[in-house]
Amino acid sequence: MKVLLINGSPRVDGCTYTALREVANELEKENIETEIFHVGNKPIRGCIGCGACYKTGSGKCIFNDDTVNIGLEKAKEADAFVFGSPVHYASASGLITSFLDRFFYAGDGFQYKPGAAVVSCRRSGSTATFEQLNKYFTISNMPVVSSQYWNAVHGNTPEEVKQDLEGMQTMRTLGKNMAWLLKSIKAGKEAGISLPEKEERVGTNFIR
Ligand SMILES: Cc1cc2nc3c(=O)[nH]c(=O)nc-3n(C[C@H](O)[C@H](O)[C@H](O)COP(=O)(O)O)c2cc1C
């Protein structure tokens, strides 16, 4: 079993990484493989709604000049996801927002795989950002993994984040909870529990 943790900060080893690392450590203790993937600090373009991903059915974005398609490739092998973002103006970073809009619009490998969001902030805006990230899971039939508190750490530097003892404990609990859910899903599969039957999708654009 493998968990893909996506670091949506422009800083490769900053506060968001510190939080994700704490989650990954717990997963690894439970013999679950992890990979922390950095979206990078180069521009990531937003979705232009061209629909090329749907038309081709490739499961890829037509734009190949940033990290989105690399992430989509890695997602195929993952059994669960953790998305991490610093809080930028009480929202997720522009980088992770552009990344996830295209990742979810083009990709199809997430359905029924557990997901969790993790945020890092200096002071405020954590729950708004947490809520923003959780919305990707809840439109994708993904079980959301929670912890003992909303998944946030506080600090401007990794050293400050490590002093946020409650935040770090929240991350460890999240890792343990995700490991437990992954093992439960695996046991369920082995016992013959199949995925829920899906209805053909109805799409109404508030016309009538
Ligand atoms: C452009 C920008 C906007 C920010 N906005 C907020 C904010 O609204 N609230 C907050 O508490 N911290 C804010 N911060 C601070 C970061 O959220 C905080 O330092 C975070 O832990 C950095 O994580 P990182 O090292 O992974 O990038 C902002 C930082 C930047 C660069």
Give the whole-angstrom CA distance, residue 1 versus residue 28.
10
Smallest CA separation from ligand 1 atom 2, residue: 88
> Look-up: residue for tokens 């900060």?
9
**DSSP letter at 122?**
S
- Residue-wise pLDDT for 112-156, tens only, equals 999 999 999 999 999 999 999 999 999 999 999 999 999 999 999
CA of 87 to the centre of ligand 1 (A): 5
Distance CA 17, CA 25 (A): 12
Q: What are the pocket residues of ligand 1 if the criterion is a CB atom closer than 6 Å to any ligand atom?
A: 9, 11, 14-16, 86-90, 120-125, 155-156
pLDDT of 157 > 80? The answer is yes
Cβ atoms of residues 7 and 92 within 8 Å: no
Q: What is the pLDDT of residue 90?
A: 98
Q: What is the pLDDT of residue 109?
A: 85
Structure letter (DSSP) for residue 144: B
Is residue 44 within 8 Å of residue 82, measured between CB atoms? no
44 close to 66: Cβ distance less than 8 angstroms: yes
Quote the pLDDT of residue 78: 98
Q: How far is the CA of 51 from the centre of ligand 1 (A)?
A: 33
Could you tell me whether strands 33-38 and 115-121 are parallel, antiparallel, or unpaired per DSSP bridges?
A: unpaired
Q: Which atom of ligand 1 is nearest to the CA of 121?
A: 17
41, pLDDT greater than 80: yes
Q: Is the pLDDT of residue 72 over 80?
A: yes
pLDDT of residue 208: 60
**Which residue has a Cα nearest atom 20 of ligand 1?**
121
Strands (E), the chain: 2-7, 33-38, 80-88, 91-92, 115-121, 152-154
